C-alpha cells in the first residue's frame, strides 16, 4: 500500500472539548493537515517526547514502555494511522526484533502511537483514504480576519445545518486559522454530507 508520511506540526488546546487537545499532523508534499483530538496526558507525553532535553523526575508510561522495548531488543520502525471510523483514528505500531528481524504489529490508540514514535524518531504514516476523509487543506495566510471568534459563531451540529455552503467554507477557514481543528473537522464533515446529497 502507498502510505503517506506525516509530520507533527503542533499541539493546540481544543476549544470545543474541555480538557482535550488537537494534535496537528501534516502531509509534507500536499500540506494536507490531519487533526487528531487527544487527551491532556497524551499531549504532555508527546510534547515531552519531542523535547529531547526535558526529562521528568519519574518515567511516564510511554517512557517506561520505550525502555521495555529497547530491553527486549526491539525497535519501533513506524506508526501507521490506517483508518478513521466515526471520528476515531485507528493505528498500528510496527516493531522489529534487532536480532532476528522478526516483525511485531500492535494495535494502539493514535495518541499513544505518536507518543511512542517521537521517542524513537520513527516515521508516522497514513493512507490516502484517511487523508481524503479527515484531511484539511487550507492556505492560512489567505484566510480573512474575522472580528467574531469562531467558537461563538458555531457551537452545535444543528447550527451548521442552517448555514449556507459559502458560509460553511468561511467558518472552516476561520476554525483552521484559530487552530480549532476538531471543530474544523466537524464542519468539513457537514460540507461532505451536503456534497454527497448533491451527487
Q: What is the pLDDT of residues 41-87, one digit of tens each?
A: 898 889 888 887 667 778 889 999 999 999 999 999 999 999 999 88
Give the tens place of pLDDT for each residue, 80-135: 999 999 889 999 999 999 999 999 999 999 999 999 999 999 999 999 999 998 88
Q: Which three cell numbers stand for residue 23?
A: 494534535
Contact 93, 116 (CB under 8 A): yes
Distance CA 140, CA 68 (A): 41
Distance CA 14, CA 182 (A): 7
Q: Tell me: domain 3-134, CATH 3.10.580.10, correct?
A: no
The domain ranges of the chain are 3-134, 139-198
Question: Which residues are within 8 A (CB) of 93 and not within 5 positions of it... i.e. 6 or more apart?
Answer: 76, 79, 105, 106, 108, 113, 116, 117
In the chain, what are the helix, strand and coil shares in percent, each to the nearest 5?
40, 30, 30
3-state secondary structure of 147: coil
Give the tens place of pLDDT for each residue, 149-185: 444 444 445 567 777 888 878 787 777 777 666 677 7
Task: Quote the distance between the C-alpha of residue 24 and its chain's center.
Answer: 5
Q: Say what the pTM is.
A: 0.69
Amino acid at each position: 500500500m502507498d502510505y503517506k508520511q506525516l509530520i507533527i506540526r503542533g499541539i493546540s488546546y481544543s476549544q470545543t472539548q474541555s480538557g482535550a487537545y488537537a494534535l496537528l499532523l501534516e502531509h509534507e508534499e500536499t500540506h494536507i493537515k490531519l487533526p487528531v483530538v487527544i487527551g491532556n496526558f497524551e499531549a504532555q507525553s508527546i510534547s515531552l517526547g519531542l523535547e529531547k532535553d526535558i526529562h521528568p523526575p519519574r518515567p511516564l508510561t510511554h517512557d517506561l514502555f520505550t525502555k521495555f522495548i529497547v530491553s527486549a531488543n526491539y525497535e519501533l520502525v513506524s506508526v501507521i494511522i490506517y483508518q478513521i471510523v466515526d471520528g476515531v483514528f485507528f493505528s498500528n505500531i510496527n516493531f522489529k526484533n534487532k536480532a532476528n528481524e522478526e516483525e511485531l504489529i500492535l494495535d494502539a490508540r493514535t495518541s499513544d502511537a505518536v507518543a511512542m514514535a517521537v521517542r524513537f524518531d520513527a516515521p508516522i504514516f497514513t493512507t490516502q483514504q484517511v487523508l481524503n476523509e479527515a484531511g484539511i487543506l487550507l492556505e492560512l495566510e489567505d484566510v480573512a480576519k474575522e472580528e467574531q471568534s469562531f467558537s461563538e459563531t458555531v457551537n452545535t451540529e444543528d447550527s451548521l445545518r442552517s448555514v449556507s455552503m459559502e458560509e460553511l467554507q468561511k467558518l472552516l477557514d476561520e476554525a483552521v486559522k484559530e487552530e480549532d481543528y476538531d471543530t474544523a473537522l466537524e464542519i468539513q464533515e457537514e460540507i461532505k454530507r451536503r456534497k454527497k446529497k448533491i451527487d
